[in-house]
Structure 1
Amino acid sequence: MILNVTNSPFDKEQAEKINTILSTTSKEQKVWLSGYLTANNLLDTPEETGENIPQYQTAVMTPRETREVTILYGSETGNAQILSESMASLLKEKDFHVSISAMNDFKSNKLKKVEDLIIISATHGEGTAPENAVDFYEFLHSRKAPNLKDLRFAVLSLGDESYEYFCQAGKDFDQRLEELGGERIVPRVDCDVDYDDAAEEWINSVISSIFETGGQNVDVPKEAVSTAGVTTEYSRKNPYMAEVLDNIRLNGRGSEKETRHIELSIEDSGLTFEPGDCIGIFPKNDEVLVDQLITLLGWDPDYRVNAGKNEETVTTKAALRTHFEITKLTKPLMKKLSEVFGNESLTSYLEDDDRIREYIYGRDLIDLISDFPPVGLTQETLFPVLRKMPAREYSIASSCAANPDEVHLTIGAVRYHSNSRDRNGVCSVEIAERIEPGEQIPIYVHRNPNFKFPFDDTTPVIMIGPGTGIAPYRSFIEEREELGIEGNTWLFFGEQRFTTDFLYQTDWQNWLNEGTLGRLDLAFSRDTEEKVYVQHLIQESGKDFYQWIKSGASIFVCGDEKKMAKDVHDSILKVLEEEGDMSRDDAEMYLSSMKNEKRYQRDVY
């Protein structure tokens, strides 16, 4: 932890001197110094200090004598859970008493007895708590919430700055705990999708602050956070350069879609994964788009800048291609840019939130610069404001057991026209148009503990995944084939046309014939006069669907969140109502219990 006037009793000059000394000392020297200062303090007499020394200070406290730490996480894609597990491991290594659980597994009536509470929460959609945090969130904001005057707490909030209500769930938890009387251990930190450094610093700060109860400091391993849950030297902070083995278009001629099947080599990387996990890819911005931006600003593309925390410089063009996001505008970014643009019209424009929301849809940095020309904008003023290039994560479409040296992905190219310009998905179109076999791309494995399949021959599994949502099911079935597990699987798949868009058609038909896949229901919306989607198939097969549920089936949903996942959810509720003779409230409670039992899992985006 870096000392300053806000987190220590030292003034600025003292803090700077201590930081300078600590930065040059080894771990052993820090341990010796800690013991020396503690012993020296205990040997001071009342006459020397002018204070009465309580009896309990006759021995150095240990972490076992500190308060118990409770870690609760609200996680949608697994990031909050992974960080929580990492923090718990670090605390346990220091002999702390630690309990950790998802918020929906925590008994709310125990909250009043909690001493040190750590909350790590993502934010779902437009500012709501993740599914496994909703009940705890509602309890905390209800009249049943207890007085927490004896509680100390700290909140780490994960989110995506492209959403208007960035990190709102974490902000709400933090504010409510304070309202109930809790005392902050450290200030809340709000993290964007590139959360590693900020989360690492926050965890260091929290653990160090808690450890002060024991009269000691703690040296948290620098890479403890970013490598959590990954048994390899490669991670998001240190991606593996994977060779592209194959890049195939899955759609037939005449299709309105372009879906790519990508095969990457991970031989000798040490990377492993399970069905349901994802691969993160760090893309590059389109060179044509970067050149347009540089020309618009009148900059020298070869002018060297520092684009990161290290001292190494890169050219302006390289920085814009690999380091920064330039194709997406957000409300927070717009407000930051207004401070460096020096354009009064932009400042005035940002006074209306509704106008901001309308403007940022389908526009990018080039649009903003064209519409509100900046005055004297330089690399040194723009780059610190821009968002770092976020990785794009894709569900894995292959089994590690079946193909240990490869990983397969299913990526749909995103193209659309908006505000008089053609637009492309940064990563998907780079893969579709500019990445050839033999080239290398930076990747990492993202573990997804909230989308895990059962591997036995007794649990029925229902898989719902139109479009590229088919990817994790290919991984799952391929692994079941490798393990020799047959049947009890039912797949719902949908796309536009049977002849051009039946992704992995041969694979599914072979697995169906062999018995690895038990049942396959298909919906091709453009092949019928009235469009039919997977949610319609669920209701048409309602009687069988309900019997599978009653037989203990686990349901998995993967794909578009805004429409498909919502419609599928409603269809399942209707099946429970009609076939299970339930009221809507009872059906919702039933489905909620399935979530808690991990029998209803969703990977939606």
Structure 2
Amino acid sequence: MSASPVTATPPFINALLGEDQGALLLKLVGGLDTSALHWLSGYTAGLAARAPQASAVPVTPVPVAAPAAPFTIIYGTQTGNSRLLAERLKHQVASAGLTARLFRASDYPVRELAKEKLLCIVISTQGDGDPPDDSRGFCEFILGKRAPRVEGLRYAVLGLGDSSYPRFCEVGRALDVRLAELGASRLLERADCDVDFEPVAKGWLDQAFTLAREALAPQAPVAATVVPMREPAAKASAFSKEAPYTAEVLLNQRITARGALKDVRHVELSLAGSGLEYAPGDALGVWPHNPPELVALFLSELRLDGDAPITRDGRTLPLARWLGDALEITKLNRPFLERHAALSGSAALREVLEPGRADAFRALLAGHQVIDVLRAHKATWDATELVKTLRKLTPRLYSIASSPKRVGEEAHLTVAVVDYTAFDLRHFGAASHHLATRTAGTDPVRVFVEPNERFRLPEDGDRDVLMIGPGTGVAPFRAFVQERAETGAKGRNWLFFGEQHFRTQFLYQTEWQEALKQQTLHRLSLAFSRDRAQKVYVQHRLREAGRDVYAWLEGGAHLYVCGDAQRMAPDVHEALVDIVSTHGGKRREDAHAWLEALREQRRYLRDVY
């Protein structure tokens, strides 16, 4: 069979090769039949693969005969860890010449669940048993009555969570059980990952990949090598969570007044030359060091030698270095408590760990640090076992409080310092103490950027924006207001801010006043809870301005909430339900649905912790 003649050079060929080269190409292939064209495509692809400098465009193996989307991977995440693991699994599958499709839970078309044959869900649990904000609709569908029967589905669930909470990995567990109830069969047993997720996740992902490859093997395509007609992606920064950038501290300034109940710092860090880029809404990961005085107290309480060399995971450090730089010694978690209960023989501690004592367990975690348990329930620890039992130190994420369009190669943070006395001891937060004690120009900080695509300003600058951020939850909204000013956005900006006292804890007061003057901030609603006998919080200010709040939302405004997940965020949500019900004339269940629709439209976004 002869090939159809081509008389004009397609624009994309001219764009890629230029007019002269494009004309030569068409002259060469014009008389070739189908077989010759196929041979030529393979020959030129092989030449590209062997070229020593194929720098302009990467050469990529692509399956040419694979069935459409045989393997579906869905992730739900609050901090990005589930996304990273899901992307890793997809890469493994693609590298084997198999096709897979990857969805954030909020983007997955749930109507397709009934057609799935092979499914993997990687999902975190936020706080004490809640799904990530990007997964609420997905979870409600699967756990609800509308979920279809899925007898032909094979699935696997990987849960991420924090064993500091009683309902550890609850969301992954619930989805795993529910899919089995709907008739699906497990491809692989569920695994639950703690904050240090890599040890469990790596083995589970490798096993999931192996089983998926076996399941898809009869359908496996023959891989061909093609050269994609696109420019290579911009070079990413060399710095990441695993390889953080050492940032210089430019400014470390307390922004609460003397005598305030809280020490809140404004910290400015230099990212100059790092290649790190961020957008308003993203977070900066900070790798902390534990307070030296706490390390000394640990060693004294346990009567251990800080210079003793201890090996864990093939790495040998003095015990004091493990406690100071590599292990979690401020936050409690269940595995450590279970081992300490066994070593101490404490009946009281064992009782708190029993099933059904979630409230007591929750209270223990909220009101105690590791040193408190060591002092209250005496035990003899071997240094090697201590190092192997304590959880690895993990980075803390802080919402970035600046727009790069305003500050250039810098990142600003708003940090509430954890520093209090309990049980006759001074207690610290690892990261906040680390940041609060850094001296500008002298003490660097190891950092990386954690993108948060689910907390972005609207692309349309004419849209209005409502921002609710009490306390340090105001940080990303400082970035939002800066960004909107620098880009000339025409939409209005309305900020709800709350704290304890007006005179001592009005964070960024002069900046907000200047923004109001410049009309880059159009409304500012304030709630200071301890300046009067009756406490007033941001949810009260929302209800007071309910008519206007509803009018803004009805008119297309985007709504953002940042801050405490346990009390503030639920209270704010209930206030919004009341507002929509009262001023929108809706029943409460319809008001809930109306807000859920805003969430699905990505007009109601939360960054809560």
**TM bucket normalised to smaller:** 0.7 to 0.9
More displaced 10-residue stretch of structure 1: 192-201 or 322-331:
192-201
Measure how far apart 1:95 and its partner are: 4.7
Matched AA of 2:292: E
Q: Counterpart of 1:127?
A: 129
Q: Secondary structure at the match of 1:409?
A: strand
Residue 385 in 1 paired to residue 389 in 2? yes
Write the distance in 1 (CA, Å) between the matches of 2:142 and 2:489: 44
Residue among 259, 263, 272 paired with 2:268? 263
CA distance in 2, matches of 1:535, 1:358: 26
Q: Distance in 1 between matches of 2:65 and 2:448?
A: 35
Separation in 2 of the partners of 1:284 and 1:462? 36
Once the two structures are TM-superposed, the CA of residue 163 in structure 1 deviates from its matched residue by 0.8
1:41 corresponding residue in structure 2 = none
Q: Which residue of the partner structure matches residue 244 of structure 1?
A: 249
Question: Could you say if the C-alpha distance between residues 182 and 418 of structure 1 is closer, same or farther in structure 2, counting changes exceeding 3 Å?
Answer: same
For the aligned residue pairs, the C-alpha RMSD in angstroms reads: 2.8
Pick closer, same or farther for the CA change 1:401–1:194 going to 2, 3 Å. Answer: farther
Change (3 A) 1:518 1:181: same
**1:172 pairs with 171, 174, 194, which one?**
174
Q: Please give the secondary structure, in 2, of the residue aligned with 1:295.
A: helix
Q: Residue 461 of structure 1 corresponds to which residue in structure 2? A: 465
Q: Alpha carbons of 1:248 and 1:386: their partners in 2 closer, same or farther (altered >3 Å)? A: same
Distance 2:68 2:462 in 1: 46
Q: Report which stretch shifted further, 261-270 or 358-367.
A: 358-367
Q: What's the counterpart of residue 22 of structure 1?
A: none
Residue of structure 1 equivalent to 2:400: 396
SS state at 2:550 partner:
helix
Provide the secondary structure at the position in 2 that maps to 1:232: coil
Give the ranges of 4+ consecutive aligned residues of structure 1 lying more than 6 Å apart after TM superposition: 215-218
- SS of 2:75's equivalent in the other structure is strand
Aligned to 1:413: 417
* Aligned with residue 293 of structure 2, among 288, 292, 296: 288
Match in the other structure for 1:206: 208
Q: Aligned partners of 2:362 and 2:112: how far apart in 1?
A: 42
Are the equivalent residues in 2 in contact too, given 1:63–1:211 (CA < 8 A)?
no
* Change in CA separation of 1:171 and 1:336 when aligned onto 2, cut-off 3 Å: farther
In 2, the alpha carbon distance for the partners of 1:443 and 1:569 equals 33
1:336 maps to: 339
Q: What secondary structure is seen at the aligned counterpart in 1 of 2:434?
A: helix
Cα distance 1:63–1:183, how it changes in 2: closer, same or farther (>3 A)? Answer: farther
* Residue in structure 1 matched with residue 108 of structure 2 by the alignment: 106
Alignment of 1:540-559 (within 5 A): 540-559=544-563
| Structure 2 partner of 1:373 | 378
Greater Cα offset, 174-183 or 292-301: 174-183
Query: Gaps (5+ residues) in structure 2?
Result: 1-62, 223-233
1:418, distance to aligned residue in structure 2 (A): 2.9
| Count, aligned residues | 532
Letter in 2 for 1:239: P
Distance 2:97 2:550 in 1: 48
Aligned CA distance change for structure 1 residues 230 and 352 (closer, same or farther; 3 Å): farther
Q: Distance in 2 between matches of 1:561 and 1:234?
A: 30
Q: Check if 1:316 corresponds to 2:324.
A: no
Match of 2:191 in 1: 189
Residues 328, 390 of structure 2: 8 Å contact kept: yes
1:412-443 CA distances to partner (integer Å, 9 max, x unpaired)? 11233333433222211232235554211111
Compute the displacement of 1:267 (Å): 1.0
Pick one of 268, 275, 279 that aligns with 1:274. Answer: 279
Question: Which moved further from structure 2: 296-305 or 421-430?
Answer: 421-430
Q: 1:544–1:350: structure 2 CA closer, same or farther, 3 Å change rule? A: closer
Residue equivalent to 1:74? 76
Q: Is the 8 A contact 1:247 1:437 kept in 2?
A: no
Q: TM-score, normalised by structure 2?
A: 0.81
Partner-residue secondary structure (3-state), 2:567: helix
Question: What one-letter code is carried by the residue in structure 1 that aligns with 2:592?
Answer: E
Amino acid at match of 2:595: L
Q: C-alpha separation between the residues in 1 aligned to 2:353 and 2:261?
A: 40
In structure 2, the residue matched to 1:444 is 448
Equivalent residue in structure 2 for 1:535, among 536, 539, 548: 539
Which of 492, 516, 522 is matched with 1:518 structurally? Answer: 522
Cα deviations by residue, 1:288-314 (Å, 9 ceiling, x for unpaired): 11111111222111111124x3x3421
- Deviation of the 1:92 alpha carbon: 4.4
Distance in 2 of aligned mates of 1:497 and 1:367: 31
Letter in 1 for 2:569: A
Alpha-carbon distance in 2 for matches of 1:217, 1:338: 54
Q: Report the CA distance shift for 1:142/1:555 in structure 2 as closer, same or farther (over 3 A).
A: closer
Kindly report which structure 2 residues correspond to 1:147-162, keeping only aligned pairs within 5 A, or say none: 147-162=149-164
Q: Deviations over 1:151-182 (max 9, x none)?
A: 22121211112111111111222233334443
**Cα contact 1:413–1:432 (8 A) shared by 2:** yes
CA separation of 1:196 and 1:237: change in aligned 2, threshold 3 A: farther
Contact residue 63 and residue 95 of structure 1 kept, 8 A: no
Displacement of 1:198 in angstroms is: 4.0
Deviation, 1:278, is 0.5
Tell me the amino acid that sits aligned with residue 316 of structure 1: L
Residues of 2 paired with 1:361 and 1:278: CA distance? 24
| Equivalent in the alignment of 2:142 | 140
Distance 1:475 1:134, change over 3 A: closer
1:140 positional shift: 3.1
Deviation for aligned residue 1:275: 0.7
C-alpha offsets along residues 42-86 of structure 1, whole Å, 9 cap, x if unaligned? xxxxxxxxxxxxxxxxxxx98715971112222233432344345
Aligned partner of 2:596 in structure 1 is 592
Whole-angstrom distance in 2 between the partners of 1:380 and 1:63 = 53
Q: Is the 8 A contact 2:79 2:450 kept in 1?
A: no
Stretches of structure 1 lacking an aligned partner (at least 5 in a row): 1-60, 219-228
Which of 328, 350, 362 matches 1:325? 328
Query: Percentage identity across aligned positions?
Result: 37
Quote the Cα distance in structure 2 between the aligned partners of 1:356 and 1:491: 37
Q: Look up the match of 1:583.
A: 587
How far apart in 2 are the matches of 1:409 and 1:557?
17
Q: Which moved more, 1:366-375 or 1:436-445?
A: 366-375
